[in-house]
Structure 1
Amino acid sequence: MRAPRGRQGHQDHPLQTGRQGGHLRRRGDCQPRDQVCLSLELKPPPSAGRHAVIDVGTNSVKLLVATIVGRHITPVHETSVQTRLGKGFYQHHLLQAIAIRQTAEAVQRFAGQARDAGANTIRVLATNAAREARNSDALVRAVREASSLDLEIIPGELEADLVYQGVLSGCSNTNAGMMLIDVGGGSTEIIIGTGPHPKFSGSYPLGTVRLLESCPHGDPPSGDEREEVVARLRQQLETEIAPTMKGVMETFCLTSLQLIGTGGTSTLLARMVNSLEGYDRARIEATVLSIDDVTKWFDRLWSLPMAQRGRIVGLPPEKADVILAGVAIYQEIMKFWRLPSLGISMRGLRFGALLQGQVGQH
């Protein structure tokens, strides 16, 4: 487990309408990533410089091309593709050759799209699977050969910090207390903060692909298999995650913090709640889920075979397996800390990386 850090003081719509428990309510602090292949095109000011970040995750590769003015980021083009870099990885911590090739090809394709969109710089980041892989050098080499770009394998602590800065870039009230959850394929980042720098950040070996591979199940999962996943998550929260957060929990009342989810799972939940066929940033970021909403989706998804899950509006068939682990992680985190609601941010790692660097490769 990446050691978390506790620190003492690490689009944009100033007011949105959120949905909770089927009723609309106003939400003004923070506005706030998925597909195969989802994309979004926006038109920024023609004079603004453009920069790109490619995020090589355990499950998907994602591209953001955006303009940056100060800390204001305007997306120009966003897309992602599922390459399953972490498939079959966690038993021996070796990336499979086919996953390496597919990932390198995705980076090559996205680099071309970024250049076509006018990006002056391109930054390529890799997260959990690449961090833990014994053969990560093979991935770095493949990406370099395919795209002529250097792959940065970033530590979990930096990943968490970039997620925080990315979400903060969409906040109208940067002094509001926030607890951010980024559920990825191989790890989950938890970040707590009230200003420009998070007070606590931790990266934990808890992700959708990792959880599914460690807890195989039938189709549909049995009740016992579902309970096994829940029990494992609760044990991990109690023995591995909560002890690292004792200091910050003595400072903050977690139930008073605004819980914000960023990453594929939270985006998928918002799309399913709103029956969105496509990619609607405004509606996704305006969605607020209660703990009851999340539990209802957990019960529904875990009761259906994968073919039926793949027919739910808003859930791409390719994501119908990993959504089980993702919704379970969110449900158990919310129950463990008695967090009443979940907001959604589509800003995260890639947005934070743009703010941190604003310098990359051409």
Structure 2
Amino acid sequence: MKSEAAISEGSPAAKAGRRAVIEIGTNSVKLLVADVVAGKVQPVWEESIQTRLGRGFYESRCIQKQAVTRTTEALAKLMKHCRHCRAESLRIVATSAVREAANQQEFARVVSDVTGKPLEILSGQQEAEMTFRGIATQPELAGLRLLVMDLGGGSTEFILGERGHPQFSRSFELGCVRLLERLKPSDPPQIAELEVVQGAIMDFLASEVRPVLEPVLRASAEPVQLVCTGGTAFYLARMELKMSAFNRKRIESLRLSRDGVRQWVDRLWQMPLEKRKCIVGLTPNRADVILMGVAVVESVMDLFKFDELRVTTRSLRFAAVLEPAAAADGGGQKVQGGQPPPA
């Protein structure tokens, strides 16, 4: 199974305080191995493997057998990297698709049997708050008032806060894979299909997100910096920078204008799938779902009138390595292999 991204930034030689986190998302499974020194996260190895756990999920609300197989294969590969990097501890968390799945307990036991670790199924609130704390590890953002948008495969989290402390956080059932499963565009995509997608996103934002987010944005006159994390943001930055290799500093220094995002929407939605697969910075297995991702980013910037977007490579995994599993108990569940589902 091929990785979307495998990034080494440190030595695999064992160090005290080395920890690992695996995040099972709707679109991909991601690994972070990091040294935690004086409360700071120093990444050693990061890897992402696309498994499309959400494929076929939204019709039945059950994780499909093929998706389980792809995920367990990815987990086996990532576990090898954890051992190679000599991580002292491993934490495994799951987000939107597993959170919503009717067969979540069965899936969690499979994961635990493969890894030997309990699976933490994060609540939406837990996911949002951990994402903000993870992003606050980026020094340039630590002192700013931020609106973080964590755009994932199955959900999007909006978190408003400053100086590392979230003041508002909410998870919404708006995600790239979820949209792709519901609104499958033609190849090449048509302008009329883009209009349908944009309309569906705007309707959701206007009815579900704006009524709760706009009042907290207006509660203070202080400027707010929009920051986006997740696969869409990461690959949008790589495309903008024409970047084939990973460079955290360049990505996190990038400012994307609303016009710039709109230009990417127009360009991507005019290209057939095979041509999108050849764009520098975009991995071929992201060439389908990127259509939905950029449409969401553009709609959020339009609706809430943000002229600039910053991208971060950090995420809830950066918070998860900073705290032991017990400290993150905020509504999530843990399932150990061999246990029956709770009554």
Distance in 2, Cα, partners of 1:285 & 1:246: 26
Write the distance in 2 (CA, Å) between the matches of 1:350 and 1:337.
Answer: 27
Partners of 1:181 and 1:357 lie apart in 2 by 25
CA distance in 2, matches of 1:119, 1:238: 44
1:304 to 251, 261, 271: 271
Shift of residue 146 of structure 1?
1.6
Shift in CA distance, 332/287, structure 1 to aligned 2, threshold 3 Å: same
Q: 1:197-236, aligned counterparts within 5 Å?
A: 197-236=165-204
Cα offsets for 1:249-273 (capped at 9, x unmatched): 331358x211111111101011101
Q: 2: CA distance between counterparts of 1:317 and 1:38?
A: 12
Identity among equivalent pairs (%)? 40
Out of 313, 329, 348, the residue aligned to residue 296 of structure 2 is 329
- The 8 Å contact of residues 277 and 313 in structure 1, kept in 2 or not, is answered as yes
| 2:3 matched residue in structure 1 | 36
Structure 2 residue 13 is the aligned partner of structure 1 residue 84? no
Alignment size in residue pairs: 326
Determine if the alignment matches structure 1 residue 352 to structure 2 residue 319.
Answer: yes
User: Is 2:49 aligned against 1:49?
Assistant: no
Do structure 1's residue 149 and structure 2's residue 122 form an aligned pair?
no
Question: What SS does the aligned partner of 1:313 have?
Answer: coil
Distance of 2:179 and 2:5 partners within structure 1: 25
Deviation of 1:48 after TM superposition, in Å, equals: 4.1
Query: What residue is the counterpart of 2:215 in the other structure?
Result: 247
1:356 partner amino acid:
E
Cα distance change, pair 276–359 in 1 and its aligned pair in 2 (3 A): farther
In 1, the alpha carbon distance for the partners of 2:69 and 2:111 equals 8
Match of 2:135 in 1: 167
Contact preservation (8 Å) 1:36, 1:316: no
**Which residue is equivalent to 1:338?**
305
AA of the residue aligned to 1:130? V
Q: 1:75 to 1:87 in 2, by over 3 A?
A: same
Q: CA deviation at 1:222?
A: 1.1
Question: Match for residue 235 of structure 2?
Answer: 268
1:216 Cα deviation after fit: 1.7
Q: Give the letter for the 1:208 counterpart.
A: C
TM-score normalized with structure 2 length: 0.91
Give the corresponding residue for 1:24.
none
Q: Is the 8 A contact 2:15 2:35 kept in 1?
A: no
Matching of residues 112-151 of structure 1 within 5 Å: 112-151=80-119
| Deviation string, structure 1 residues 38-82 (Cα, Å, up to 9, x no partner) | 111122697442000000000000000001123310000011100
Offset of 1:300 from its aligned partner? 0.3
Instruction: Describe the superposition over 1:312-350 as per-residue Cα deviations: whole angstroms up to 9, x where unpaired.
Output: 001111000000010000000000011011111111110
Query: CA separation in 1, counterparts of 2:15 and 2:189?
Result: 53
One-letter code of the match for 1:289?
Answer: L
CA distance in 1: counterparts of 2:258 and 2:112, whole angstroms: 44
What is the alpha-carbon distance in structure 1 between the residues aligned to residue 297 and residue 141 of structure 2?
24
1:75 maps to: 43
For residues 68 and 36 of structure 2, what CA distance do their matches in structure 1 show?
Answer: 31
Distance 2:100 2:14 in 1: 41
Residues 175-190 of structure 1 mapped to structure 2, 5 A cutoff: 175-190=143-158
SS of 1:303's partner is: coil
Per the TM alignment, residue 311 of structure 1 is displaced from its structure 2 partner at its CA by 0.5
Task: Give me the whole-angstrom Cα distance separating, in 1, the residues matched to 2:120 and 2:152.
Answer: 17
> Which residue identity is paired with 2:88?
N
Give 1:275 deviation, angstroms. 1.0
| 8 Å contact kept, 1:65–1:76 | yes
Structure 2: runs of 5 or more not aligned: 328-335, 337-343
